[in-house]
Amino acid sequence: MEESVSTALYDPEQRCLSPADVAPTSWLKPKLAIHPRILSASQPSIGSTQPLLSRRQNRVSVDPKRRIHIETQTVTAVMAEHMSQSELDYPFRLLEYVNGFRVSKAIFSACELGVFDLLLKSQEPLSAERVARELSANVDGTERLLDALVGLEILEVETTDGKALYSSTDVANLYLAKGSSKSLHDMIIYQSQTIYPLWNNLLDAVRSEEEMLKFMGLMNNSWILDGHDIATAFSLSCFQTIVDLGGCTGALAREMAKVYPSSSVTVFDLPQVVETARKHFSQENDAVAFQTGDFFSGELPDADLYVLARVIHDWPEEKCLPLLKKIYDTCKPGGGTLVVEAMLFENRRGPVMAQIFSLNMLVQTEGRERPPSEYVHMLNEAGFQNVQVCRTGKSYDAILAIK
């Protein structure tokens, strides 16, 4: 940080801000001028290693009687008076962190435009106009981007007769141009095009319980329309125990329990999902039981029939096959699995909802929607030979595979 910040924040003699108080910490200091008496009563502590929060708490509680009377602003001022130099500098670091996304975007854009490749190839420094022309970009934007890259010490600039000419640094040539053996170009493009957009979801990801609840609500609702058709797509009354793997809220499992009241139906899902399902979706005298577990890494509970509704479509074949094999291995002869998905037509001409769902899978998961033949193929690979497909005519279809 170039500017140094004085720790003598307030000059009680002058009752005004000292010259050092002019930016950058001026956002703190006007508050100090309001209560000079209080401020002059306390000493700044510099370089303490005590954690920031506990120090603040200690200081604010030093004089409880006075604290009761002073306003929030004054409390802030007292805190400022006691701040160490590194604490006073912190807002600038904070601003650097907050602006970090702009720096990333500037580098991403330069890489995507090919700025570093162009400058590497060029035998001479180039003007912003020339760079803009070569990259089919506009001059003003290009010039500002090049200047920012100079500020970031990624590019160099020489100015002759008011004309700026830009060239790459060795660092840019080595790490940012595409052709170099040490190039980080592909990693930066991936960060820019794939990771960066995903960070838009960070808030939702952190608020995951709320998000999970919304998602579970969506899952729950789908079976209002299609649940009965799926439960009756095949006669499943011969299966005494049914486990719905990844059964989420239990909505489809309840439809199964309604149609096959003599079967016991269990929802098997990840612990946090089961906890939320129990809290928000369970019913009085619930016809289904819940069990926690991980179908990829753990053992499966014993069952005559394993339901996999909208589970396979979440994953690529490399993950689905081991799961289907695990089910096959756990099944007794005569047992089986019911795969429920929105299935594409083999001729790729629809149904349009399944095609749209498949696009959704592309942006939201590692999976895809598939035509029945692909499910049959995976089930055969897993060991199931007796496989039947039922198109329900609704959004979701079913495949029953018996061991």
Ligand X SMILES: C[S@@+](CC[C@H](N)C(=O)[O-])C[C@H]1O[C@@H](n2cnc3c(N)ncnc32)[C@H](O)[C@@H]1O
Identify any residues that bridge with 266 across adjacent strands, giving them in sequence order: 243, 289
| Residue 323 structure tokens | 């799961």
Pairing of strands 397-402, 336-341: antiparallel
Q: Which of 75, 157, 184, 270 binds ligand X (CB under 6 A)?
A: 270
Counting Cβ atoms within 10 Å, is residue 297 exposed (0-12), middle (13-18) or buried (19+)?
A: exposed
Decide: 308 and 340 in contact? Cβ < 8 Å. yes
- Segment near ligand X (CB under 6 A), from 81-89, 112-120, 288-296, 327-335? 288-296
- Where do we find the tokens 């399944």? 354
Q: How far is the CB of 248 from ligand X (least distance, A)?
A: 3
Q: How far is the CB of 251 from ligand X (least distance, A)?
A: 6
Asked if residues 157 and 150 have their Cβ atoms less than 8 Å apart, the reply is: yes
- Give the length of the chain: 403
Q: How far apart (Å, rounded) are the C-alpha atoms in residues 184 and 190?
A: 10
Neighbouring CB atoms inside 10 A of 343's CB total: 26
Shortest distance, CB of residue 216 to ligand X, whole angstroms?
7
5/323 with CB nearer ligand X: 323
Count of residues engaged in binding ligand X, rule: CB under 6 A: 16
**Residue closer to ligand X (CB basis): 94 or 218:** 218
Phi, psi of 114 (to 5 degrees): 90, 25
Q: Which is nearer to ligand X, 234 or 295 (CB)?
A: 295
Got the DSSP string for 195-230?
IHHHGGGHHHHHTHHHHHHHHHHHHHHHHHHHHHHH
Taking the least distance from each CB to ligand X, the nearer of 152 and 270 is: 270
Q: Residue 225 CB, nearest distance to ligand X (Å)?
A: 12
Shortest distance in whole angstroms from residue 312 CB to ligand X: 10
| Contact status: 294 vs ligand X (CB under 6 A) | yes
Q: What span, in angstroms and rounded, lies between the C-alpha atoms of 265 and 254?
A: 8
84 vs 263, which CB is nearer to ligand X? 263
Instruction: Name the minimum Å distance from CB 324 to ligand X.
Output: 14
- Alpha-helix runs per DSSP H in 122-250: 128-134, 139-151, 170-171, 185-190, 196-198, 202-206, 208-231
Q: Tell me, residue by residue from 199 to 228, as one string, x for binding to ligand X by CB under 6 A and - for no binding.
A: --------------------x---------
H/E element, 271: helix 271-280
Counting contacts by CB under 6 A, is residue 29 touching ligand X?
no
Which member of 59, 82, 310, 403 binds ligand X (CB under 6 A)? Answer: 310
Nearer CB in complex with ligand X: 9/273? 273
Task: State the Cα–Cα distance between residues 170 and 222, nearest whole angstrom.
Answer: 57
Residue least distant from ligand X (Cβ): 246
The residues assigned a catalytic role are 313
Regarding 153 and contact with ligand X (CB under 6 A), the answer is no
296 binds ligand X (CB under 6 A): yes
Least separation in angstroms between residue 266's CB and ligand X is 12
Stretch that binds ligand X, among 32-40, 67-75, 292-300, 341-349 (CB under 6 A): 292-300
Tell me the helix, strand and coil percentages in the chain, rounded to 5.
50, 15, 35
Whose Cβ is closer to ligand X: residue 231's or residue 309's? 309
Which 226-265 positions form the footprint of ligand X (CB under 6 A)?
Answer: 246-248, 251-252
Q: Is residue 35 near ligand X by the rule CB under 6 A?
A: no
Binds ligand X by CB under 6 A, chosen from 81, 255, 269, 374: 269
Contact footprint for ligand X (CB under 6 A):
219, 246-248, 251-252, 269-270, 273, 294-296, 309-311, 314
